[in-house]
Structure 1
C-alpha cells in the first residue's frame, strides 16, 4: 500500500515540475480554468461537461507526455541530432492536434450558447 501512496507523490511531483518549468502547461491550465468558469456561467449540461473535461484532460496529458519525451530525448541525446529534433517535433505536434481538437469541442459547445446569450 505504501508503494501505491508514494506513486501519487511522484505524480504530483511531475505536475509540480511541469507547472514550474513549462510555460505551455501553465497556458493550458489557465485556459482550462477559464473554460470551466465559462461552463459554470453558461450552465453546461452533464454531457457538455463530460466533453469539456475530456478535452481538458487530453490536452494536459498531451502536454505532460510532450514534456517527458523532451526531457528523455535531451537525456539520451544531449548533442543536437536530426532524429532527436524529429522526435521532439512530433511530440509537440501531438499537443497541437490535441489542443486544436479541444478548441473545436469548445467552439461546438460554446458558440451556440454565446449566440443565444447575445440575442
Structure 2
C-alpha cells in the first residue's frame, strides 16, 4: 500500500513539473484556499470549493496520462490522436470554467459577509498574495539557484503560519500547507531531472 501511495505521489509531482496548466491550477488552488480560510463559509460551500479544486486536479492528471498514452500509441501525426488530446483538454477547461462560476456564485451569495470583512480580506491579500507568489516560484520551470527555492519554501511556511493564526477554516489552511508541500516537491523533482 505504501508503494502505491509513493507511485501516486510521483504521478502528481510529475504532472506539476511537466504540465503548465497543472502549475496554474496549483497556484489557483492556493488562492481558493486563501478565500476559504479568510471568509466564513458554511459547510456545503466549503465542500463544494474543495471538491471543485480536487476535481480539476483529477481531470488535469487524467488529461496528462491520456496525452502520454496517445503519444505512446502514435509516433507520427494522427488526426484522431489530436482530437483525443483536444477532447481531454476540453474536459479540464469545462471544469475550470465551472469552478470559476461556482466560486463567483459563492462570493455573490456571501456578499454581505465579504463586504463587512474588509480588514480580514486586506490581511488575506497582504499575506496571501506573497504566499501564492512563493508557490508560483516553486512550480516555475525556469532553472534557478537552490537558495531561491529554499527562500520561497521558508517564506511560504512563515506566511502560512501567520495566516493560520487568523484562519476561519483550518481545513483550507491545511490544503494550502499541502499545496506548498506539492510545490516544494515539484521544485525538488525538477532540480533532480536537471535542465531540459
TM norm structure 1: 0.91
Aligned equivalent of 2:70, options 69, 73, 79: 73
Following the alignment from structure 2 to structure 1, what is the Cα–Cα distance between the partners of residues 47 and 114? 22
TM-fit CA distance, 1:104? 1.3
Structure 1: how far apart are the matches of 2:89 and 2:32? Answer: 22
Q: Taking CA–CA contacts closer than 8 Å with sequence separation of 6 or more, which of the two structures ends up with the larger relative contact order? A: 2
Q: Note the alpha carbon deviations across 1:52-73, whole angstroms, 9 max, x for none.
A: 0110011010000000001110
1:103 to 100, 105, 114: 100
Off by >2 Å, runs of 4+ in structure 1: 111-119
How far off its partner does 1:110 sit?
Answer: 1.3
Q: Which residue of 2 aligns with 1:91?
A: 88
**Distance in 2 separating the partners of 1:80 and 1:23:** 22
CA RMSD of aligned residues (A): 1.4
Matched position secondary structure for 2:110:
helix
2:19 pairs with 1:22: yes
Alpha-carbon distance in 2 for matches of 1:36, 1:59? 14
Name structure 1 gaps, 5 residues minimum: none
Match of 2:29 among 29, 32, 35: 32
Deviations 1:20-73 (A, max 9, x none): 111100111111110111111111211111000110011010000000001110
Deviation at 1:114, TM superposition (A): 4.3
Give the TM-score, by structure 2 length: 0.56
Indicate if the aligned counterparts of 2:67 and 2:85 stay in contact, CA closer than 8 A.
yes
User: Deviations for 1:59-111, whole angstroms, at most 9, x for unmatched residues?
Assistant: 01000000000111011102110000010000001101111111111111112
Q: 1:51 is matched with which residue: 37, 48, 52?
A: 48
Structure 2, gaps ≥5 residues long:
117-196
Q: CA deviation at 1:113?
A: 3.0
SS at match of 2:76: coil
Matched residues in 2 for 1:37 and 1:92: separation?
27
Which residue pairs with 2:120 in the alignment? none
